[in-house]
Chains A and B, each alone.
Chain A
């Protein structure tokens, strides 16, 4: 160890290539290596969380209890949510940021490369702790990914303590990752790369990183209060001591609502990169995109209690949070308008990334509209905790966030590997996913409107048909992700090389470096005119 670390100053080599063996990945300070690690980790978590989703859907294939114990069903819904949110979606976006932000702004690497490595390597340990709870006495956390008190305090299994500490270290990882991204964007831009020339993916990540730094500590605070209540006799969330279980919900959702935008703003950025490329036009309304992103981020701090309309808020609270929530539709509408206007009268071609991006625009908008329905407090009294909510957030997260990640991977994979995609297989993956995702989640709207509660392993007979359809769709969607894995591996191993620009209409610094991008890029910063 000492030779490696103490040798670094003084005998620093400017253009070292990748180290050999496993050490390359364990000790790397290279933003491309770390981006790759994040992306593989995220894929692994996506598959684990996906298997849990399929178990849930299998249990719900027909009424009655057939496959899993109700207690284990609760653990499945909890772990599925936690793994997908913190293990799949967030690390995937951080991985894309690691790969692309330095390439896009003309930086030699991330601002703080060793801390970058630390941010990543905390995650496998944090998730090892989280997943190990499945094998503990009393089972894994079973209180839902939102872990409301007192389910997560008074009535929680002992494994909740492991969950709390796992959240603590993964929060530290997120905060360090976000600090790194902000420092990189603010400080490492190439000469001439002014803020209003930044690619939109970089802008959305700058704002996302701000949200992360603002709310991950609040999450740490709320799990700390849980820890104190469970083990040290405090009464934050216990009315018997003067506290309030609703306080948990307030603090949690003060984190939780910005968190859902953390999972969607980078998606906006990716789509805003892809649509202009395959429309062969500049992005429509660049400045308004930037301002809309910032507005969404600011509003996200003022709407948290729309998750709590049925908890007994005072009327003034219901009204404030209802109207503030509906305001978010304005900047979001600006974005959707701009995406459509970008495509309007463009020379469109429909390569795999473009298909995912267009599907994102359409399906995310459906998710946005159902969100608008949920924002209306009196109507939410009906929808609350039903499958309508499940349909809503899966529409914004699966064909929203996940589709954008797939779009981004297909878009940039040739740049990373230097090899061409198999377009046919990419399109097959797209159509299977597109059909599967809609068969899975669209019927859930009807189930929810008809009153089927979420997070329950059994249901009344009248819900049987739609549940069966949803389960079939889930298996179509789930297994078609194996095509994605195949496509990625095929692209890495392919011999068919691509040009630096890769896509005909692609513009930006990242398309000026060779494909595959060399281990070190922009060591001398390019000048942006």
Chain B
């Protein structure tokens, strides 16, 4: 309980209000941009706002984290502060779990209820009367209105790129853990090596994912517009890919910090937070591989 005496309360900071301005630019700009594109009236000031907001937010994050790192190096953080960070990161990851849960829930609902009902199952006959010729199937290759939503001609074969990607991500979870163990033993070259391998695995995963998207759009007819299979496929894999991108970026930052001599065997929560995040991204992928690709 001795840690109680010295909880660090930072002085005033300009980062949060600037970050709010950046979020405002991003949100307002993105809405303007997307509306302009849909109305085919051009991007207008939207694109500029999005780019400005993104640039501002990046600069703020660099400055804000630099502050935190300085404070940590100055010894201002007690064990209790460390626990606050741990709770913060844990609950943040829980919120991310719930974000994906919404999309997984949508997938399960559509597969097990909505599509069979459209095909006439259950006692809700009315929905079948809308498209009498429709047969329910999953994956849904022929949506009820196939003119507006032309279904995919083919699906991604789970046993090629997706399987390879599974192996890559699972391996990267091990390599980041190896890096952690090396850090605990203070083998700094090994830390950098295993982190480097993890980053490369993440980048390779992303490369394959991009290739798969191009393939899906160009050769398979699997698009956002391909009915609800395409919708669930892209929203789940797309948000996962976005999280892998962010995770890889965070790993790169940690990698550079290790090269700069940051972290020691007892004090490295920044490292741990990123590895937690990476494991989370990995677990989500296992769910995706099973429920989006295989089953």
Please state if A233 and B224 are interface contacts (CB–CB under 8 Å): yes
On whether A217 and B102 interact (CB within 8 A), knowing A4-B12, A4-B14, A169-B24, the answer reads: yes
* Closest A residue to B124 using CB positions: A312
Please state if B20 and A161 are interface contacts (CB–CB under 8 Å): no
Q: Per-residue CB proximity of A308-319 to B under 8 Å, as 1/0?
A: 000010100000
Determine the chain B residues whose CB is within 8 A of the CB of A345 once the complex forms.
Answer: none
What's the nearest-Cβ distance from chain B to residue A18, in Å? 9
B253 within 8 A of A: no
Please state if B17 and A27 are interface contacts (CB–CB under 8 Å): yes
The stretch that binds A, out of B67-75, B196-204, B267-275, is B67-75
Please state if A216 and B38 are interface contacts (CB–CB under 8 Å): no
What's the nearest-Cβ distance from chain B to residue A12, in Å? 6
A312 to B229, CA, bound (A): 24
Q: Which of A125, A239, A251 contacts B130 (CB 8 A)?
A: A239
Please state if B227 and A241 are interface contacts (CB–CB under 8 Å): yes
On whether A228 and B235 interact (CB within 8 A), knowing A114-B13, A242-B115, the answer reads: yes
A337 to B156, CA, bound (A): 59
Please state if B148 and A217 are interface contacts (CB–CB under 8 Å): no
Please state if B11 and A16 are interface contacts (CB–CB under 8 Å): yes
Please state if B115 and A29 are interface contacts (CB–CB under 8 Å): no
Please state if A217 and B76 are interface contacts (CB–CB under 8 Å): no
A233 to B234, CA, bound (A): 12
Q: Which of B67, B99, B123 contacts A8 (CB 8 A)?
A: B67
A391 within 8 A of B: no
Q: Which of A111, A129, A220 contacts B28 (CB 8 A)?
A: A129
Determine the chain B residues whose CB is within 8 A of the CB of A158 once the complex forms.
Answer: 35, 39
Determine the chain A residues whose CB is within 8 A of the CB of B31 once the complex forms.
Answer: 129, 161-162, 164-165
A55 to B161, CA, bound (A): 59
Q: Which of B5, B11, B17, B115 contacts A524 (CB 8 A)?
A: B5
Please state if B114 and A243 are interface contacts (CB–CB under 8 Å): yes
Please state if A228 and B231 are interface contacts (CB–CB under 8 Å): yes
Centre residue among A4, A215, A217, A239 by max chain B CB count within 10 A: A239
Please state if B95 and A242 are interface contacts (CB–CB under 8 Å): no
Please state if A125 and B21 are interface contacts (CB–CB under 8 Å): yes
Determine the chain A residues whose CB is within 8 A of the CB of B88 once the complex forms.
Answer: 111-112, 115, 179-180, 183
A38 to B144, CA, bound (A): 49
Q: Per-residue CB proximity of A1-43 to B under 8 Å, as 1/0?
A: 1001111111011001001000110111100000000000000
On whether A243 and B110 interact (CB within 8 A), knowing A168-B27, A187-B83, A213-B91, the answer reads: yes
Please state if A118 and B235 are interface contacts (CB–CB under 8 Å): no
Determine the chain A residues whose CB is within 8 A of the CB of B232 once the complex forms.
Answer: 236
B103 within 8 A of A: yes
Determine the chain A residues whose CB is within 8 A of the CB of B76 once the complex forms.
Answer: 9, 12
On whether A114 and B115 interact (CB within 8 A), knowing A225-B106, A242-B228, A247-B106, the answer reads: no
Q: Per-residue CB proximity of B139-183 to A under 8 Å, as 1/0?
A: 010011100110000000000000000000000000000000000
What's the nearest-Cβ distance from chain B to residue A219, in Å? 8
Please state if B13 and A221 are interface contacts (CB–CB under 8 Å): no
Determine the chain B residues whose CB is within 8 A of the CB of A19 once the complex forms.
Answer: 12
Determine the chain B residues whose CB is within 8 A of the CB of A126 once the complex forms.
Answer: 24, 27
Determine the chain B residues whose CB is within 8 A of the CB of A10 once the complex forms.
Answer: 74
Centre residue among A7, A188, A218, A243 by max chain B CB count within 10 A: A243
A374 to B120, CA, bound (A): 30
Please state if A188 and B80 are interface contacts (CB–CB under 8 Å): yes
A186 within 8 A of B: yes
Please state if A28 and B9 are interface contacts (CB–CB under 8 Å): no
A455 within 8 A of B: no
* Closest B residue to A209 using CB positions: B91
Please state if B145 and A240 are interface contacts (CB–CB under 8 Å): yes
Give residues 31-54 of B contacting A (CB, 8 Å). Answer: 31, 34-35, 37-39
Please state if A9 and B74 are interface contacts (CB–CB under 8 Å): yes
On whether A117 and B110 interact (CB within 8 A), knowing A183-B87, A525-B5, the answer reads: no
B264 within 8 A of A: no
Please state if A234 and B235 are interface contacts (CB–CB under 8 Å): yes
A295 within 8 A of B: no
Give residues 137-166 of A contacting B (CB, 8 Å). Answer: 158, 161-162, 164-166
Please state if A218 and B102 are interface contacts (CB–CB under 8 Å): yes
A172 to B76, CA, bound (A): 28
Give residues 101-155 of B contacting A (CB, 8 Å). Answer: 101-103, 105-106, 109-110, 113-115, 117-118, 122-124, 126-127, 130, 140, 143-145, 148-149
Interface of A is mostly: helix
Determine the chain B residues whose CB is within 8 A of the CB of A239 once the complex forms.
Answer: 114, 118, 127, 130, 144
Please state if A5 and B67 are interface contacts (CB–CB under 8 Å): yes
- Our count of residue pairs bridging A and B at CB distance below 8 angstroms stands at 265
B207 within 8 A of A: no
Determine the chain A residues whose CB is within 8 A of the CB of B228 once the complex forms.
Answer: 234-236, 241-243
B1 within 8 A of A: yes
Please state if A241 and B149 are interface contacts (CB–CB under 8 Å): yes
Please state if A129 and B118 are interface contacts (CB–CB under 8 Å): no
Please state if B143 and A242 are interface contacts (CB–CB under 8 Å): yes
Please state if A242 and B35 are interface contacts (CB–CB under 8 Å): no
What's the nearest-Cβ distance from chain A to residue B121, in Å? 10
A214 within 8 A of B: yes
Determine the chain B residues whose CB is within 8 A of the CB of A28 once the complex forms.
Answer: 12
A230 to B126, CA, bound (A): 25
B248 within 8 A of A: no
Determine the chain A residues whose CB is within 8 A of the CB of B113 once the complex forms.
Answer: 244
* Closest B residue to A168 using CB positions: B27
Determine the chain B residues whose CB is within 8 A of the CB of A251 once the complex forms.
Answer: 102, 105-106
A111 to B85, CA, bound (A): 9
What's the nearest-Cβ distance from chain A to residue B11, in Å? 5
Please state if A117 and B144 are interface contacts (CB–CB under 8 Å): no
A263 within 8 A of B: no
B15 within 8 A of A: yes
Please state if A23 and B83 are interface contacts (CB–CB under 8 Å): no
Determine the chain B residues whose CB is within 8 A of the CB of A228 once the complex forms.
Answer: 224, 231, 235
Give residues 221-276 of A contacting B (CB, 8 Å). Answer: 221-222, 224-225, 227-236, 238-244, 246-247, 250-251, 254
A115 to B103, CA, bound (A): 28
A128 within 8 A of B: yes
B residues neighboring A (CB under 8 Å): 1, 4-5, 7-17, 19-21, 23-24, 26-28, 30-31, 34-35, 37-39, 63-64, 67, 70-71, 73-74, 76, 80, 83-84, 87-88, 91-92, 94-96, 98-99, 101-103, 105-106, 109-110, 113-115, 117-118, 122-124, 126-127, 130, 140, 143-145, 148-149, 223-225, 227-232, 234-235
Not counting A118-B16, A240-B148, A520-B9, a sample of 6 additional A-B residue pairs whose C-beta atoms are within 8 angstroms of each other reads A113-B9, A125-B23, A161-B34, A241-B144, A241-B148, A250-B109
What are 27 A-B contacts defined by CB distance under 8 Å?
A: A9-B73, A9-B74, A19-B12, A24-B12, A29-B12, A107-B7, A109-B7, A111-B84, A114-B64, A125-B20, A162-B31, A164-B31, A169-B23, A180-B88, A187-B80, A191-B1, A217-B99, A220-B99, A221-B103, A234-B235, A235-B228, A236-B235, A239-B118, A240-B143, A241-B228, A244-B118, A254-B102
